[in-house]
Chains A and B, each alone.
Chain A
């Protein structure tokens, strides 16, 4: 099996070398340069200033909230989807909205959430005053969750889909309540799907940047925003790279927490 797997891995290893190792090396190299291109560790020192530490904390907090709400909405959706008649079709229909350009959808959200938009019109029907929904924590988390929902649903759907229904029936026959069945049987069996969903949500959520401006109006500043600014506005690639290095470190830590505890598979 080994030799076969080596050839299978070959393109993947090339990919890692060219597009992962090389960029990491570049980022590391740049992170140790100052503005005039001299070697320095100043950038790393700067990262431990109050501003960046606060920003790191904010990024983690919002990434956590986004992942939490995404999971909360995605799990039942995935579960119910597996019970529908044309489940594969419905799953596809969950993905399609994410193929429309994000900036355009953001403009649509600006209209929908707006003071004179449909949501506020709806609120007014119940006699409440129109609210500015844009540029609040709520709108930021809402749109982020919107973006990540398909990414969370798919792995959960796939793991639920292959779940052997007889296991559930057996548990129910043995007198387990539906909640116990879920907690003890269904959820543990789909944990790999959930973990993979958390990884594809939490990790990118740490570095969200476009919508921090578009939807949150810079009320929320994440590490991703700071990197973008350093690269594109300050043209301080050194500091930008340094923050990127920390992001990669945080990602590895996240992976270790959510990582597969099981021994290697057999394939």
Chain B
């Protein structure tokens, strides 16, 4: 019994100590400012120095929270209980959030730096006139591969190359129904936003033929595998491919000609916001030419900020794999919001494909 009492009191004392330690650290960080701004973003998706700079410049204290998927972020913002001032969803999620009336209309007069954005990335179908969002990063979906480990004639300029018999047990796919089913549709020459049972069936059957080549369907863990030369070919996002190629110079990235996905992560201000003015200031700050360049340099994804391009390494900007020219972009499609019914079907087909793996 004595042991139990002792242990309990020890734990309570430690808890108290920790509580005060956390309190004092937090207040030291806040610098007594009452004006706070909660930013909800993907992890490691911003240069922390920029947050410090923003705090210095405006006196607003930034609370930074992170999420790991659009859907999880959506649930959190929708349920409320926490006041997010800025969120960074992908384009199809922005469409859903607009539909569900979860976003505040942007006041463009407070975001003069919007002029820095390349017009190509403005006024897109998921948010006409950029009423609710401003672009943050963008990219494509394609194939990252190690040329020294695949037969020379495979350049992945066509999706068909993935089906090559010599790639048995060598292909890695991302764990996303839109990406994988979309690839199946693209490889047949269909749009990746198709709502047609027959075409989806056809795409799934075609994908099932791919299963002997598929080694695994995974998520972000593909990065260390590609860097390590443990994986040979992987379907992935361009941003991640850039990360891999940064570490492993042997790797190459290709966006197949039949078409692929063009994605965006944009800033939005959810209706939960309690500091709308601060949120606008933050967006404007991030769209500044210099800040945008610094951030793109840190994160390694493609930035839509044309003014930043001027300040960035020429070699990065002219790399067509990550900054495809207009002609290339023509072949790419942005995900449309399929609606829950069709999204469900995509997932059912994807599940069927996965069940055929083993």
Contacts and interface: CB of A to CB of B under 8 A. Distances in A.
Interface of A: 35-36, 51, 54-55, 106-107, 110-111, 114-116, 132, 134-135, 213-214, 216-221, 226, 229-230, 232-236, 239
Given A217-B215, A219-B357, A51 B351 contact: yes
A55 B216 CA distance: 18
12 contacts: A35-B344, A107-B221, A110-B221, A110-B225, A111-B224, A116-B229, A216-B216, A217-B172, A218-B217, A230-B347, A233-B71, A236-B340
B230 A217 contact: no
B357 A235 contact: no
Contact of A218 (B218, B225, B230, B352): B218
Contacts of B71: 232-233, 235
B357 A114 contact: no
Interface in B199-236: 215-219, 221, 224-225, 228-230
B354 interface: yes
Interface in B66-85: 69, 71-72, 74
Interface in B16-54: none
Contacts of B217: 213, 217-218
B326 interface: no
In this complex, which of A132, A217, A236 has the most chain B Cβ atoms within 10 angstroms of its Cβ? A217
B355 A55 contact: yes
B72 A135 contact: no
B190 to A, nearest CB: 21
B177 interface: yes
B13 interface: no
Interface in B94-111: none
Given A51-B352, A55-B355, A232 B230 contact: no
Contacts of A220: 358
Nearest to B69: A232
B325 to A, nearest CB: 33
Contacts, number: 85
B341 interface: yes
A134 B176 CA distance: 20
B347 A218 contact: no
Contact of B215 (A35, A54, A135, A214): A135
Given A232-B69, A233-B177, A135 B216 contact: yes
A136 B216 CA distance: 9
Given A110-B224, A219-B358, A232-B72, A213 B344 contact: no
Nearest to B172: A217
B175 interface: yes
B355 A233 contact: no
B26 to A, nearest CB: 22
A107 B224 contact: yes
Contacts of B72: 232
In this complex, which of B175, B218, B228 has the most chain A Cβ atoms within 10 angstroms of its Cβ? B218
A235 B221 contact: no
**What are the 9 closest A-B residue pairs judged by CB atoms, nearest first?**
A217-B216, A218-B217, A135-B216, A234-B347, A35-B340, A232-B71, A115-B230, A234-B344, A219-B358
B343 interface: yes
Contacts of A106: 221
Nearest to B176: A233
Contacts of B355: 51, 54-55, 221
A156 to B, nearest CB: 22
A125 B55 CA distance: 56
Contact of B343 (A110, A115, A234): A234
A226 B224 contact: no
B341 A35 contact: yes
Nearest to B351: A51
A88 to B, nearest CB: 11
A229 B347 contact: yes
B344 A221 contact: no
A107 B230 CA distance: 14
Contact of B354 (A36, A110, A134, A218): A218
B347 A214 contact: no
A244 B249 CA distance: 45
In this complex, which of B215, B230, B343 has the most chain A Cβ atoms within 10 angstroms of its Cβ? B230
A213 B175 contact: yes
A91 to B, nearest CB: 15
Contacts of A219: 216, 357-358
Contacts of B230: 114-116, 132, 134
Contacts of B219: 213-214
A55 B356 CA distance: 11
A214 B344 contact: no
Given A116-B228, A221-B355, A214 B177 contact: no
Contact of B218 (A116, A217, A232, A239): A217
Given A35-B344, A110-B221, A232-B69, A226 B228 contact: no
Contacts of B357: 218-219
Contact of A229 (B172, B215, B229, B351): B351
Contacts of A218: 175, 216-218, 354, 357
A226 B215 contact: no
A114 B177 CA distance: 27
In this complex, which of A55, A116, A218 has the most chain B Cβ atoms within 10 angstroms of its Cβ? A218
Contacts of A51: 348, 351-352, 355
A234 B96 CA distance: 13
A40 to B, nearest CB: 13
Contacts of B218: 135, 213-214, 217-218
